[in-house]
Amino acid sequence: MSVNPTTTSEAYQAVQASEEFQTLRKKFRSFVFPTTAFFLAWYFLYVLLSIFAPKFMGTKVFGNITIGLIFGLGQFVTTFVITFIYARWANRQFDPLADAIGRRLDGGTEH
Amino acid sequence: MINLVTAETAKYGSPTLNIAIFAIFVAVTLGIVIKVAAGKKTAGEYYTAGGAFSGKQNGIAIAGDYLSAASFLGIAGAIALQGYDGFLYSIGFLVAWLVALLLVAELMRNTGRFTMADVLSYRLRQRPVRIAVSCSVLAVSFFYLLAQMAGAGGLVSLLLGVSGEAAQNLVIAVVGVVMVLYVLIGGMKGTTWVQIIKAILLIFAAFIMSVWVLAKYGFNISSLFQGAVDTTAASANAKTAANAEHLLTPGLKYGLNMTTKIDFISLSLALVLGTAGLPHVLQRFYTVPTSKQARKSVEWAIWLIGGFYLLTLTIGFGAGALVGPDKIAAAPGKANAAAPLLAYELGGSVLLGVVAGIAFATILAVVAGLTITSSATFAHDLYKEVFKKGKTTQEAEVRVARIAALAIGAVAIFGGMFAKSQNIAFLVALAFAVAASANLPTILYSLFWKRFNTRGALWSIYGGLLSSIILIFFSPVVSGKPADPKTGLSASMITDPSIDFHWFPLDNPGLISIPLAFFLGWLGSVTSKEFDAGKYAEMEVRSLTGHGVAEALEH
């Protein structure tokens, strides 16, 4: 059982209103929201082109490799790249800030 | 006709070998489950393995959970028969993981302990929200469960050389009983280990098959595609042969007319937004200790799932080239048989046996995960929080969870027997559509929108749940698809073509039900004044900083 004093809701509200937390929140949202908008737009562009422009997507670039296939493999590439960039960003930029705020809430006592 | 099918079936592999490999898998995994996880459990151990897995282990287990029979056998078959359109289908399943990575996984890990409802009811009124979330969790899990059990029934006829009703029912019952054993003995810890073992075997087998196929075509993917086109062009069926060159271009399945085109957009929306709303996937984020490990889990899951779908591309075209559409269409299980038949073509009975064993293991593991999630919903949300108002002991809660697991096992077995002739892909698409409509809007609103409140949650959950189910009920998947000229049967769930009560033109409801659920969530929230500033601050601070997670784990 935990013997930590439960953090009060006033303490949470104080942290939420603090400048550090607002910066953290802004940092997080300004990374994930545009990225989400980008990959959704890119994915639906691919879907819509496949559905409404099959001739274009079926154009052979070399051998039997079509534009559509390259677009499709491009979806894999962007998914992998976004995953990699996000993880790096979160580990290096986001975590240190988030951890600092979390530690302050505990009043600096480690448990 | 019956004889022909049986004769055809008997040609592929050795049923005894298939059963033996499956039995070995069950024996080994049950042994491991007993070794790692037997004994009495706290609620935390039963639902989430005490949050003790590492991100890497959990990521592999997530891949194991997600690469279900429908996505492994179904996508390989779709690529073999429809080429590009099958590939297009697989991409939605992958891209969907970015929603989980960026918006859902870490924040859920930081604010919940055992179930999805923990997060959604955090700053809202507990009882009504938990009841609503439980309804949608159970609905999604039920459809997903039926899909897996239906898959088990369909596989049997191919892999064991039996096509009789009784034999299929027997196999479904065996799968159900073994699954319940995993869950009762091992809880989340045992189930997770089964997922990990299965994922490694599945990815390894897919890797071997892909390399084998590519080796046959001099590691030239373009020649492999040509092979599939050539084999298809040589088909005895004139219609199939005429489609050969369309394998490499979009449109073979979804490009027929405007309705199929819009239907595919609707399906894509459900796939991309549904994954992050699947309760059994979300439950997996609680098996790791911190949000950093949850992030790592999703990273691993994306690498493995993405890599696997790339392998599926070669397996699908390999099946199209080396097995050919005629044999696939003639096999029991049709498109689902493409990957197993390719295994037989490449490595004979032994490789078929291995792939068959893995396919069964896949179903077993996924069903076990679904059962844990549903039993957690029964015991933690409905029994403890709603019925007992939070006042109960751990022992009682775990006992209820175990009883629920038994009951769900029974539902899975009987449901599977009933649903075994149903189209697996349809059932899975249904689960994704309900998850994307009933769960995801509320998850996103409660994590990101300050103004969100109980009325918004209830309207969104019930609105999304009901609208998606009602639209499906009145869609062509249930009734009214044109009759097949050969058999005189409709391709709908109700095969009698004279019964037709559909009025919704699309197979997939997502295009309507997902925006509707988002709209209802907004409307409900702005028409209600409820707002708990303290709880909101607590949830937001915890979700971003992970504060309080360590304490919650010590209980």
- Note whether A37 contacts B: Cβ–Cβ < 8 A: no
**Residue B264: CB partners within 8 Å, gap ≥ 6?**
A47, A51, B88, B254
More confident residue, A105 or B457: B457
Q: Give the model's pLDDT for residue B302.
A: 97
CB-closest option in A50, A54, A102 to B545 = A102
CB B303 within 8 A of CB B203: no
More confident residue, B134 or B361: B134
DSSP H or E segment with residue B415: helix B394-419
Coil, helix or strand at residue B490: strand
CB-closest option in B98, B265, B310 to A47 = B265
Q: What is the CB neighbour count within 10 angstroms for residue B342?
A: 29
Among B120-134, B435-449, B480-494, the range scoring the smallest mean pLDDT is: B480-494
Question: Best of A6, A83, A105, A109 to disrupt the B interface by mutation (most B CBs within 10 Å)?
Answer: A83
B548 and A10 within 8 Å at the Cβ level: the answer is no
- Residue B3 confidence (pLDDT) above 50: no
Coil, helix or strand at residue B160: coil
Coil, helix or strand at residue B113: coil
List pLDDT tens digits, range B384-416.
888 888 888 888 889 999 999 999 999 988 888
Question: Best of B101, B229, B540, B542 to disrupt the A interface by mutation (most A CBs within 10 Å)?
Answer: B101
Chain A CB contacts of B303 below 8 Å: 80, 83
- Residue B306 confidence (pLDDT) above 60: yes
Coil, helix or strand at residue B337: helix
List pLDDT tens digits, range B29-38.
889 888 887 7
A65 and B221 within 8 Å at the Cβ level: the answer is yes
In a domain, A7, yes or no: no
What is the nearest CA distance from B329 to chain A, expressed in angstroms?
25
CB B272 within 8 A of CB A40: yes
CB B355 within 8 A of CB B16: no
- Note whether A45 contacts B: Cβ–Cβ < 8 A: no
CB-closest option in B88, B225, B537 to A72 = B88
For residue B522, name the pLDDT band (cuts at 50, 70, 90): very high
Find the mean pLDDT for residues B356-384. 87
Nearest CA in chain A to B542: A102
Structure tokens at B201: 């075997």
Chain A CB contacts of B541 below 8 Å: 12, 15-16, 21, 101, 105
For residue B56, name the pLDDT band (cuts at 50, 70, 90): very high
CA dist., res. B32 & res. B229, Å (int)? 45
Could you give the number of structural domains in chain A?
Answer: 1
Q: How many CB pairs under 8 A join A and B?
A: 170
CA dist., res. B363 & res. B152, Å (int)? 7
- Note whether A36 contacts B: Cβ–Cβ < 8 A: yes
- Note whether A105 contacts B: Cβ–Cβ < 8 A: yes
For residue B163, name the pLDDT band (cuts at 50, 70, 90): low
For residue B551, name the pLDDT band (cuts at 50, 70, 90): low
Q: Give the model's pLDDT for residue B124.
A: 92
Find the mean pLDDT for residues A49-76. 91
Q: Give the model's pLDDT for residue A77.
A: 97
DSSP H or E segment with residue A66: strand A65-66
A98 and B550 within 8 Å at the Cβ level: the answer is no
Nearest CA in chain B to A103: B547
Per domain, the residue ranges of chain B are 2-554
More confident residue, B166 or B198: B198
List pLDDT tens digits, range A6-28.
677 888 898 999 999 999 999 99
pTM: 0.92
Q: Give the model's pLDDT for residue B436.
A: 96
A9 and B264 within 8 Å at the Cβ level: the answer is no
From the list A16, A30, A5, the residue with the least C-alpha distance to A107 is: A5
Domain that holds residue A52: 16-104
Average pLDDT, chain B: 87
Length of chain A: 111
CB-closest option in B97, B536, B545 to A98 = B545
What is the nearest CA distance from B304 to chain A, expressed in angstroms?
11
Chain B CB contacts of A62 below 8 Å: 222
From the list B307, B304, B335, B37, the residue with the least C-alpha distance to B188 is: B37
Tell me the residue type at B417: M
Chain B CB contacts of A63 below 8 Å: 220, 222-223, 225-226
What is the nearest CA distance from A50 to chain B, expressed in angstroms?
6
Structure tokens at B519: 């709209």
In a domain, A45, yes or no: yes
ipTM summary value = 0.91
- Residue B259 confidence (pLDDT) above 60: yes
What is the nearest CA distance from B472 to chain A, expressed in angstroms?
23
From the list B161, B186, B157, the residue with the least C-alpha distance to B26 is: B186
The CATH number of domain B2-554, selected from 3.40.250.10, 1.20.1600.10, 1.20.1730.10, 1.20.1530.20 = 1.20.1730.10
Nearest CA in chain B to A69: B84
Find the mean pLDDT for residues B159-185. 81
- Do the strands A60-62 and A65-66 form a parallel or antiparallel pair, or are they unpaired? antiparallel
